[in-house]
Amino acid sequence: MSGYASQSASDHDERPGRGVPMTTFRHDTSPEAPRGGPHPTPLADRDVADLRRRVTGPVLLPDDPGFAAEFAGYNSARVERPALAVGATDTVDVAVALAFARDRGLTVAVANTGHGRARSADGALLLNVSRMTALSVDPAAGLARVGAGVPARRVAEAAAEHGLSAPVGSSGQVGLVGYTLGGGLPVLGRTLGWAAERVSALELVTPDARTLRVTEHSDPELFWAVRGGRDNFGVVTELEMELAPLRAFFGGGLHFAAETEERIAELLHAYAAWTEGVPQETHSSLAVVPFPDVSQLPPPLRGRRVAHLRVAWTGAPAEGEALLAGWRERGPLAVSWGELPATAVTALHQEPDEPAPFTRDSALLDRVDDAVVRAFAEAAGPGAGRAHILEVRHLGGALARPAGRPFPGVRRSASHLLNAISVLLGPDGTPEATGAVRRRLFDAVAGRSLGRLGNFTGGGDDMPAAVAADAYAPAELARLRAVKARLDPGNAFRHNANVPPAESFPG
């Protein structure tokens, strides 16, 4: 990824540079162009026609067939009305689209294959990068080069062909790039660390349509900010990520009946105590799920409220089996355990791929004490209805170590992550009812909370500025706002977990 040459979108009228590899770009030191702002110019037909000529992917207006499908995401709770949608196929498309937005005062929202934006894309140029699926692995160097739209599952599969593992999370369908820009909590994080730490370089198209190669040496502050600050600074079109040698692991899950608050509290108490003594090679979470009564589920789980213990073990097989002995004695409804290929890591949590309307919130906890257990059991129990999925993930290990490549948005002293998902369906799933349950939960655990984790926060409603800020320490937020002021002083990239530019206020 050396020898980058600068490209400006205004140079691409006849699409020169199409297919130019990432290694042809370099860091641009030219004066910055005006940024997008809050006063868009009405779109003329000739302008849209010109954009269509210069972009390989689709350019769609609200009345065009396929417009809504272009940005329909995993979270179906959000209804959005962007001014136009652009389906980028490569970096040139992205740069052309951002120059168009800049010149017409449009704000920009980014869509991918993930779980949705934190703020609505109303009135924006919505840029869909899910077609940018270039992916390559250099097994000798232990590196993957990943395009903006590549799902995590594909990266895991490509790495596994060479006996390597990527730091992927619990969902295989989300784009690896977007997940990583939020820090990226891998299922095997206690061994691999945060995904953002494994990024060695990235390609960024800035709000003023410059294409930059960003590394810890070319622009240390921007490199720090983007890996954790998400899409506040432009569009990351590709990144280079370090892989780890791993062909297989031992793992699976145990399901327990969890029909009462008392039973849920008992299981979470046991889980918290168990995680205090497990080796670093142990990766786990405990989730309480109200399963529907459907034939696709095994009979013991249908229609029941179930606690699902997920475990992955990257050490010696015999030691991993011993770790589960105490849990097998607690009367599980079902047990699945054995050697799994590295590609199975995204299936361990059994997260659904089908879209659904939902919202979520999170807290990084310094410990799981009695107050946390009581609040969790109440919110996950029958009194709260059947709209909520609550989870506690064990952190620590490599996730707690000082980073070789620091980034914002994590609390390394946190022992566990509390993740609360509300599905906005059925009589228990109204925004009012689910919001009340989450407020009680997070108010009750506030004394143990070190802040939110960005990738586990947001959903159907626009994220308030204070919620977005809670993912960062005050000093981190100040640094992020300074970088934002340099790259995007007009806050064109605001349809996200927004970091406002320094010396301005959230809109």
For the chain (507 residues), the mean pLDDT of every run of 10, in chain order, is: 36 35 29 44 87 97 94 80 97 98 96 75 95 98 98 98 97 95 97 98 98 98 97 98 96 97 98 97 98 92 97 90 92 95 95 86 97 99 97 98 93 97 94 95 98 86 78 96 98 94 66
Tokens of residue 247, six digits: 């062909």
Secondary structure, 3-state, 294-311: CCCCCHHHCCCEEEEEEE
Give the pLDDT confidence score for residue 504 in this predicted structure.
54
Q: Are 306 and 289 in contact (CB under 8 A)?
A: yes
CA atoms in the 13 A half-sphere facing the CB of 385: 19
- Angle, nearest 10°, between helix axes 45-54 and 91-103? 160
Judging by DSSP bridges, how do beta strands 125-128 and 135-138 pair with one another?
unpaired
Judging by DSSP bridges, how do beta strands 388-394 and 282-290 pair with one another?
antiparallel
- Residue 241: strand, helix, or coil: strand
Q: Are 334 and 256 in contact (CB under 8 A)?
A: no
> How many other C-beta atoms can be found within 10 angstroms of the C-beta atom of residue 179?
25
Domains 9-128 and 249-467 share a fold: no
For the domain covering 249-467, report its CATH number: 3.40.462.20
**37 exposed, middle or buried (CB, 10 Å; 0-12, 13-18, 19+)?**
middle
**78 exposed, middle or buried (CB, 10 Å; 0-12, 13-18, 19+)?**
buried
> How many other C-beta atoms can be found within 10 angstroms of the C-beta atom of residue 102?
23
> How many other C-beta atoms can be found within 10 angstroms of the C-beta atom of residue 438?
19
Give the pLDDT confidence score for residue 44 in this predicted structure.
84
From the list 142, 215, 224, 236, the residue with the least C-alpha distance to 183 is 224
Give the pLDDT confidence score for residue 355 in this predicted structure.
81
CA atoms in the 13 A half-sphere facing the CB of 133: 11
- Residue 454: strand, helix, or coil: helix
For the chain, the structural domain boundaries read: 9-128, 135-245, 249-467
Question: Vertex 320, ends 191 and 241: CA angle to 5°?
Answer: 20
CATH topology of domain 9-128: 3.30.43
Amino acid at 413: S
Contacts of 432 (CB under 8 A, 6+ apart): none
Domain 135-245, CATH among 3.30.465.10, 1.10.3720.10, 3.20.20.70, 3.40.30.10? 3.30.465.10
Q: Are 168 and 346 in contact (CB under 8 A)?
A: yes
Give the span between the Cα atoms of 57 and 126, in whole angstroms: 13
Give the span between the Cα atoms of 47 and 58, in whole angstroms: 15
